[in-house]
Chain A
């Protein structure tokens, strides 16, 4: 009995101490070994250096696997509340499963920032302070404007996954972007027989370019397709005339940007998602600081020849 009392007293003291002056921030995210999420985590941890200097802490809560994502993530949010979080950051991956848990955070008076998924709509609906993340549609717009401004005004979006909502948003955004700067754009949807086959995608790009010689800009929806498109353009004998921009990047794409066979890549900059979300909450909990800008976009970020070296340094440092 006495032991239990002491234990409770000690626990209360710890809780009191941690809630008094500093911010214990809980960040819900993906698996730490997921390549994208390890970058987001790095951003949160780097912001955590300041949090810790001011006496607080940053705790990363990620699921073991993605088999039951919505429910598992909702469970992690409730864990954060139970562990006495002063502030919570979380992605709204599966609104049906996760909204009630986020609601519990807000009801408990804990400041909340939604990041990575859900958009400003989710933040408004849940009463969160802000949304920090990228926007698929604007990613396409950025690519369209970049290629159009480079003088390549006739574009095509290679849609290797027709029907997927985020991919349609990329392509529609691309068409708007290239139209904004005075060009025009179309979508080339590929049949299911070419899914996951680099050769089929490369040959489709090449055939489309040969048949439509006026096209001089290609937008791809993922890093694998970017490599295929570069190959297809080379086989059509149009290297240099037709420029490629694609969503996401990897080592070989950065090398292609360096050598000039790819013009640019669009990045949602996950590092900023972790870094900014944690910084905003730390400033608010400690000193009542607010960021009046609603919907903080971390992407689209454009990587081209002028930023590729810094990006490569970021890859080595684990921030990109």
Chain B
């Protein structure tokens, strides 16, 4: 009798330990924390569909970029160039299909190619030189920013270019479903599925973890580290370009001076999601929770009645709290799990 009860408790807490040790558990708790915080302050409007869609719309765009940026961070790399790929892709679409009236599909494909190209350059330089990726991607960020400004002014004679998209394109990439849910969030869902498959089901996942754990050993184990790194950078360039394409079709205008906020925002989402800055650990579900946490905090400010003048302070503080909860929870879980070992 006694022994069975102990056995039961042991099994239950064993399951709890396994759950708690999952990297996303901490970020899940952080997300619940900020949601409850703003739900109390924001009330009905925040809890209803308008509030819901408000932070989901924000989450979808930064989320699409945070996923591949997270993969890169798990692999031990950083990509800051995403911030300038967004306007570069937007303007490519606007110039080709808006300014020059070419079919939209050509503009969209060209915009996405800009992202792939910048990603390839990043990956190539990272694998062929010993310069850290943070420096290389700062370099490409400024390079792309300058070229975007230069070419836009040269071709269009202004820093903003306009486009009136076809109804079909608009419906696919720039529509608001029910007047409030930006169609981007369905694309985000698609990205989540693909990146989840890459990291957690396909063999690439283990390669990525191995790359972030120890690059030399990964190479020695026969992993094509160069190709893998270049591929990851191209994926993040593609995702940033995708967001840029979506933005220009949603707002029907592309401006040179956009996108920079996505650099820090995407890294914040990934780190809140429990990915280690040093690489080697993290999960897709964690990144998704991190993105939601970030967006809830960002949008929550406007529903909360807190002074928006100090909005940035609240964002900073709540994000730190979320990461701290996340970390201490992980440590607690790990030490608890360690004690359980026979």
Q: Spell out A's residues near B (CB within 8 Å).
A: 33, 35, 38, 162, 188-200, 202-204, 206-208, 210-211, 223-224, 227-228, 231, 234-237, 250-252
| Interface hits, B270-308 → A, CB 8 Å | 298-299, 301-303, 305, 308
Tell me whether B261 and A193 are in contact (CB under 8 A). Answer: yes
Chain B residues lying within 8 Å of A188, measured Cβ to Cβ, are 302, 308
Tell me whether A211 and B57 are in contact (CB under 8 A). Answer: no
Bound state CA distance, A196 and B303, in angstroms? 21
Bound state CA distance, A200 and B302, in angstroms? 11
Q: Is B309's beta carbon under 8 Å from chain A?
A: yes
With A33-B157, A198-B251, A206-B50 as known contacts, state yes or no: A191 contacts B301, CB within 8 Å.
Answer: yes
In the complex, residue of chain A having the shortest beta-carbon distance to the beta carbon of B252: A252
Chain B residues lying within 8 Å of A191, measured Cβ to Cβ, are 298, 301, 308, 311-312, 315
CB distance from A155 to the nearest CB of B (A): 15
Bound state CA distance, A162 and B55, in angstroms? 22
Shortest beta-carbon contacts, A-B, top 9: A207-B302, A191-B311, A196-B258, A191-B312, A35-B158, A198-B251, A235-B180, A210-B45, A195-B261
Q: Is B265's beta carbon under 8 Å from chain A?
A: yes
Q: Is B162's beta carbon under 8 Å from chain A?
A: yes
Tell me whether B251 and A227 are in contact (CB under 8 A). Answer: yes
With A196-B260, A237-B179 given, can you name 17 additional A-B contacts, CB distance below 8 Å?
A: A189-B311, A191-B301, A192-B261, A192-B312, A193-B315, A194-B261, A195-B260, A195-B261, A196-B261, A197-B259, A199-B61, A206-B54, A207-B302, A210-B50, A224-B255, A237-B180, A252-B252
Bound state CA distance, A202 and B180, in angstroms? 11
Tell me whether A211 and B42 are in contact (CB under 8 A). Answer: yes
With A193-B298, A196-B257 as known contacts, state yes or no: A235 contacts B179, CB within 8 Å.
Answer: yes
Tell me whether B261 and A250 are in contact (CB under 8 A). Answer: no
Chain B residues lying within 8 Å of A38, measured Cβ to Cβ, are 157
Bound state CA distance, A50 and B265, in angstroms? 56
Chain A residues lying within 8 Å of B251, measured Cβ to Cβ, are 198, 202, 227-228, 231
Bound state CA distance, A203 and B295, in angstroms? 11
Q: Is B190's beta carbon under 8 Å from chain A?
A: no
In the complex, residue of chain A having the shortest beta-carbon distance to the beta carbon of B312: A191
Chain A residues lying within 8 Å of B265, measured Cβ to Cβ, are 193
Chain A residues lying within 8 Å of B160, measured Cβ to Cβ, are 223-224, 250
With A199-B61, A237-B179 as known contacts, state yes or no: A252 contacts B162, CB within 8 Å.
Answer: yes
Bound state CA distance, A38 and B157, in angstroms? 10
Chain B residues lying within 8 Å of A196, measured Cβ to Cβ, are 255, 257-261
Partner of B302, one of A192, A211, A227, A251: A211
Tell me whether B298 and A194 are in contact (CB under 8 A). Answer: yes
Chain B residues lying within 8 Å of A202, measured Cβ to Cβ, are 251
Bound state CA distance, A231 and B250, in angstroms? 9
With A35-B157, A194-B261 as known contacts, state yes or no: A189 contacts B309, CB within 8 Å.
Answer: yes
Q: Is B147's beta carbon under 8 Å from chain A?
A: no
Chain B residues lying within 8 Å of A252, measured Cβ to Cβ, are 162, 252-253
Q: Is B262's beta carbon under 8 Å from chain A?
A: yes
Bound state CA distance, A237 and B48, in angstroms? 14
Q: Is B182's beta carbon under 8 Å from chain A?
A: yes
CB distance from B66 to the nearest CB of A (A): 13
Tell me whether B259 and A204 are in contact (CB under 8 A). Answer: no
Render B60-97 as a binary contact track against A, CB cut-off 8 A, 1 for contact. Answer: 01000000000000000000000000000000000000
Partner of A203, one of B54, B162, B261, B312: B54
Partner of B54, one of A33, A207, A250: A207
In the complex, residue of chain B having the shortest beta-carbon distance to the beta carbon of A35: B158
Chain A residues lying within 8 Å of B50, measured Cβ to Cβ, are 206, 210, 236
Q: Is B153's beta carbon under 8 Å from chain A?
A: yes
Partner of A207, one of B51, B259, B262: B51
Partner of B253, one of A190, A199, A207, A250: A250
Instruction: Enumerate 6 A-B pairs (CB-CB under 8 Å) in ascending A order.
Output: A191-B315, A193-B261, A207-B302, A224-B257, A235-B53, A250-B253
CB distance from A294 to the nearest CB of B (A): 34
